[in-house]
Structure 1
Amino acid sequence: MIRPVGQPAAASDAPDGRKLYQQVAAAVAEAIQRGEFGPGQRIPSERELAEEYKVSRPTIREAMIALEVIGVVRSRHGSGIFVADNPPLDTPMIGLDIGAFELTEARRLFEAEAAALAAVTITDAEITTLERLIGEMERENQAHVSGEHADREFHLTIARATRNSAVADVVQSLWDTRYKAPLCMHMLERARSVGVQPRIDEHQEILAALRERNPKAARKAMRDHLGRVIDGLLRATEIDALERARAEVEAKRTDLAKRVAV
């Protein structure tokens, strides 16, 4: 089990069944409860926490977002993560079991194979539907429509084109999780808030492979697309860290200017 702040432990020491980010979030919450971090106090940086708990920085981001969702901490743009004024430390992280990284990784596995299978079964009518949905996706991007309805229908159309109801059900279930899991929803909303949108060119590549009835190309196009979705999520959740770093540099520059002026 991950130990409280100040007593780092490797991830392999935690066989209690909780996901890694949940273990980190629980440890930070316990440290707050013990008074190591008081209301309004800034939480250590992402880099410091990653070193403390021997986990990756994306895991720390997921843990901090989970704590933010349940109101234990709050994010100040450009400044960092701070303990909430009245943190509800007894609030369980129910429903925070799936984050956007984990979900997209699962989609990459299932939807790549669905695209390969669909390439040999898809109809001309379904190809026409995908073409229309890409047009709708582009209009939604321009109008900054949240929810990504055309994107969802594009991927579900491919899943249904496999003529395998089990495959279609799995893909639909993964998409439905995007709108049900609080942690996942919060992370995706953060990504949208900094301009992350469905990539039209990537969907066109998937469509081109399907139009050619090329399973290998369809699989690769889908895998590449969802791999870049993961990269986009990493960049989106890293923005606060970058802003914080810039703020720290600016503060040091201001302090140095004061010293020089003495």
Structure 2
Amino acid sequence: MPFQAVASQRLFQQVAEQVVGLIRSGELPPGTRLPAERDLARKLGVSRPVVREAMIALEISGFVEVKTGTGSYVSDGSPRAGELGDAGPSAFDLLAARRIIEGEIAATAAEMARPADIERLDQALAWYRQESLKGEDSFEADRAFHLGIAEATGNPVLTRTMELLWGDMRGRIFDRLGELTKNSTKLRTNMADHQAIRDAIAGGDGHSARQAMQTHIANVETYFLMDAAEDGTTTQTRNATGGTSRR
């Protein structure tokens, strides 16, 4: 297939637009299975996260159908004359920013947190653990825990920064990746990660709090790169300071 390497600015959007061009030209007719993400990433000279996000952007706009366990296909009803819609910010860019910012926020919270702050984190953890929690409520419980950490620093600018980051996480790419990779193993990992972060903050251990937060976000990133709805897979925690290269 005549794929071409792309430039480094807004990579996932450029990859998606290149696929749209091939669909419109007839090079990729309806029903065509697109190359595997790793193969497509190699052809285009980009990372797998970029390709994953491009496929989500194409799915959201109706050009591609992502089928669990089998791959991505050109949609039978692909809008050949349609436009590639705005899928929101890159989920992996958000995670990279969170790994840096929230790691330092957690370390600061470990130095500044009062008993009332720890109690607030415990309440958020209890909310997140509710078995009946789904969808919007699950997101809000997760958000409450992370915002509670920022509030524990006593710095309103850090709290506002966290609010902005979590606002961007309502983007369509982040939401769809969350849906595709939602499973019980991921939920248990998140719960264990949250508990480790809480314990480090409560213990006043800034170094451990930073590492626990960075590990947590690296785990989210790992799940976002798994096949859709993959379950029972052991998370391979990455080096918290390294993460995934996007170039």
TM-score range, shorter chain: 0.7 to 0.9
Alpha-carbon deviation of 1:45? 2.6
Is structure 2 residue 171 aligned with structure 1 residue 184?
Answer: no
Which deviates more from structure 2 when the two are superposed, residues 222-231 or residues 38-47?
Answer: 38-47
8 A contact 1:196–1:236 mirrored in 2:
no
Q: In structure 1, the residue corresponding to 2:112 is in which secondary structure?
A: coil
Which deviates more from structure 2 when the two are superposed, residues 53-62 or residues 193-202?
Answer: 193-202
For structure 1, the residue ranges without an aligned partner over 5 or more in a row are 240-262
Distance in 2, Cα, partners of 1:100 & 1:7: 24
Q: 1:145 is matched with which residue: 131, 134, 144?
A: 134
TM-score, normalising length: structure 2: 0.83
Distance in 2, Cα, partners of 1:164 & 1:96: 32
Alpha-carbon deviation of 1:95? 3.1
Alpha-carbon deviation of 1:7? 4.6
Alpha-carbon deviation of 1:237? 4.7
Structure 1 match to 2:65: 74
Structure 1 match to 2:76: 85
For structure 2, the residue ranges without an aligned partner over 5 or more in a row are 231-247
Structure 2 match to 1:256: none
8 A contact 1:21–1:59 mirrored in 2:
yes
Instruction: For residues 35-78 of structure 1, give each alpha carbon's deviation from its aligned partner in whole angstroms, at most 9, with x where no partner exists.
Output: 10112222233233223212222322211111001101112333
Instruction: For residues 19-47 of structure 1, give each alpha carbon's deviation from its aligned partner in whole angstroms, at most 9, with x where no partner exists.
Output: 11111111111011111011222223323
Is structure 2 residue 96 aligned with structure 1 residue 105?
Answer: yes
Q: 1:127 is matched with which residue: 111, 118, 128?
A: 118
Give the RMSD, CA atoms, in angstroms.
Answer: 2.1
* Closer, same or farther: CA 135–99 of 1 in aligned 2, 3 Å: same
* Closer, same or farther: CA 84–199 of 1 in aligned 2, 3 Å: same
Q: In structure 1, the residue corresponding to 2:154 is in which secondary structure?
A: coil
Is structure 2 residue 32 aligned with structure 1 residue 6?
Answer: no
Distance in 2, Cα, partners of 1:237 & 1:103: 20
* Closer, same or farther: CA 29–212 of 1 in aligned 2, 3 Å: same
Q: In structure 1, the residue corresponding to 2:78 is in which secondary structure?
A: coil
Alpha-carbon deviation of 1:110? 0.9
TM-score, normalising length: structure 1: 0.79
Percent of aligned positions with the same letter in both sequences?
34
Distance in 1, Cα, partners of 2:156 & 2:126: 27
